[in-house]
Chains A and B, each alone.
Chain A
């Protein structure tokens, strides 16, 4: 079509087009990488913790009565909670997945101090832990009640001899066998204390949402604490919100030497865990929208100016036989060429920026479809932005050719 002369015209007027092409390029580079970050964050936020998030809540019981019998109180509390209507199960533990704070430990497959080890999040639970968390036990067995003991700081033998691990942890400990074959294997904790893997759960995340080995977590059969207990409660589906105040009230009244506080649903835990990511996603969306808006305005401005400046030329073209659609097409095509230069440059910038971010921030490389999609979007934005001025151009009267000097 008219690409040849339009292109040559642009080359003779480079300065007016280079800036807008550059703006498109920068918009594209930032847009692509912002969306890549959004995708990455969304993916991280979307990972399941492995527990029954919709029906779980947690709270603290903090004792202040010096004469309190803590172990008896925990037993009574758990009994009362488990028997409360609408409750599925309950357990005392130290933390929850993605709660931003918990217990960590190194496991290794050979005893010794110079042996390579694998990090894992630890949840101390009793035999109700698997059911309360709602984790999916895919190999081996749950703890038996006889395996559960109170932690005794006086004892030499401090660490329980059995453990249930996440499939991911089993695979990092024993990369050469499948996770179900890890049942019965021995690992070592604190360098030398042997622990036997008795069960594998499909998914259980550790307590730190940004930890790179977040999928490594273990359930350890032990009760710990002296004055303060964290309870995790799983309700029957749909009862969570109505049950929370009932449980709080019940426990507060059952024993006055403690306070019940910090109750939080797992939904809130998740929102807190990813609050900054959510904010980041919103911010990036905003930035991308603003960039696109500014670029569109730039295109509209340049095109309007160009139509005004070329009014006589447009009239002359009309006089020489250009139809209105031909004039419209001229400006759309011109914009398409500017955009093409912009998105081609933008593609290079985007990939460069991404490579730098992959190195610096451990971001995953761009998905293959990101560049072509961004090109399409920006081409479309350009065409939409230029349509108004181009339409105005198409209504320039051919009489302009003889009427202006």
Chain B
């Protein structure tokens, strides 16, 4: 599914060079649920951005679904994001002026689906996240947990193979976090590969595989997540 080999990412500003990822190699199988933990600034988001084709790596090989993506141009990367990848963000990133229906519709329009197909998909995923009665609401009329569920619906609507979540529960209280986590688990149970960055050890633990990032480098199979999170 996802295969990274010796990926590095360097941010250069006028005065500093930040090595956000160094020789980062990771293989994720189809259907896995991987949690990513690590101290703040260790490169988790950078990893997710490279994995999700939001940013290009500085060097290394990245294959997504068996395809080397390093040579793709911007349009091709956009299309691949649209078709294969679903994103879930810490701050939900719903579009405030659009109601729930139109928010979930955003990636489907870029996909070029017809009206009927889009409507069918939107209604299905909004049902999955349990917000069928809120379809005409604006994001501001929903609680944080509900907004994140809309964002998950938006990520699911295109039926991606691969879901990337950057601290999806970071802005939620524990009760809402739990419901979002359960939702992700059920999605994974249906076969969607999930990579989730989180700060919360008890959530990370529930993933089938845990990886730990420190200083832009991967440390797999952290034995004690409690300790890791405290670092």
Contact = CB atoms under 8 A, between A and B. Distances in A.
Given A5-B98, A320-B81, A401 B87 contact: yes
Given A317-B106, A403-B45, 11 more contacts: A8-B97, A9-B98, A312-B93, A316-B89, A317-B95, A317-B110, A320-B154, A322-B110, A399-B54, A402-B45, A402-B49
Among all A-B residue pairs, the 8 with the closest Cβ atoms: A321-B82, A9-B97, A320-B107, A321-B110, A323-B78, A316-B93, A398-B54, A399-B54
Interface string B100-135: 001001110111000000000000000000000000
Contact of B74 (A4, A9, A324): A324
Nearest to B197: A402
A322 B75 CA distance: 8
Contacts of B93: 312-313, 316, 319, 401
Interface of B: 45, 48-49, 52-55, 74-75, 78-79, 81-83, 87, 89-91, 93, 95-99, 102, 105-107, 109-111, 138, 154, 158, 166
5 contacts: A316-B89, A319-B81, A320-B87, A320-B107, A322-B110
A319 B110 CA distance: 11
A322 B78 contact: yes
B98 A326 contact: no
A176 interface: no
B65 to A, nearest CB: 16
B81 to A, nearest CB: 5
A316 B54 CA distance: 10
Contact of A5 (B48, B79, B81, B105): B105
A289 B99 CA distance: 41
A212 interface: no
A325 B75 CA distance: 9
A324 B82 CA distance: 13
Interface in A316-346: 316-326
Q: Which of A9, A319, A399 has the most CB of B within 10 A?
A: A319
B74 A319 contact: no
Contact of A323 (B48, B79, B105, B106): B79
Given A5-B102, A401-B93, A402-B89, A321 B74 contact: no
Interface string A102-123: 0000000000000000000000
Contacts of B98: 5, 8-9
Contacts of A43: none
Interface string A1-17: 11011001100110000
Nearest to B166: A402
Contacts of A324: 74-75, 78
Nearest to A2: B109
Nearest to B80: A321
A4 to B, nearest CB: 8
